[in-house]
Amino acid sequence: AQTVTQSQPEMSVQEAETVTLSCTYDTSESDYYLFWYKQPPSRQMILVIRQEAYKQQNATENRFSVNFQKAAKSFSLKISDSQLGDAAMYFCAYRRNTGNQFYFGTGTSLTVIP
Q: How near is the Cβ of 85 to other proteins at its closest, in Å?
A: 17
Piece in contact with other proteins (CB under 8 A), picked from 22-30, 63-71, 75-83, 106-114: 106-114
Name which position in 91, 94, 110, 112 contacts other proteins (CB under 8 A): 91
Task: Give yes or no for a contact between 49 and 77, defined as CB atoms under 8 angstroms apart.
Answer: yes
Q: Tell me which residues in 29-88 interact with other proteins (CB under 8 A).
A: 33, 35, 37, 42-47, 50, 52
Rounded to the nearest whole angstrom, what is the least distance from the CB of residue 4 to other proteins in the complex?
Answer: 8
49 vs 72: CA distance, rounded Å? 20
Instruction: Tell me: does residue 106 bind other proteins (CB under 8 A).
Output: yes
Which residue, 50 or 73, has its beta carbon nearer to other proteins? 50
State the CB neighbour count (10 A cutoff) for residue 7: 11
Those residues with Cβ within 8 angstroms of residue 94's Cβ, 6 or more apart along the chain or in another chain: 2, 4, 25, 27, 32, 33, 34, 35, 102, 103
Task: Identify which of 28, 31, 10, 32 has the alpha carbon closest to the alpha carbon of residue 19.
Answer: 10
Kindly identify the residues of this chain, within the stretch 15-34, that bind other proteins according to CB under 8 A: 33
Q: How far is CA 65 from CA 42, 54, 89, in A?
A: 24, 17, 17
- Give the residues lining the site for other proteins (CB under 8 A): 33, 35, 37, 42-47, 50, 52, 91, 93, 95, 97-98, 100-102, 104-107, 109
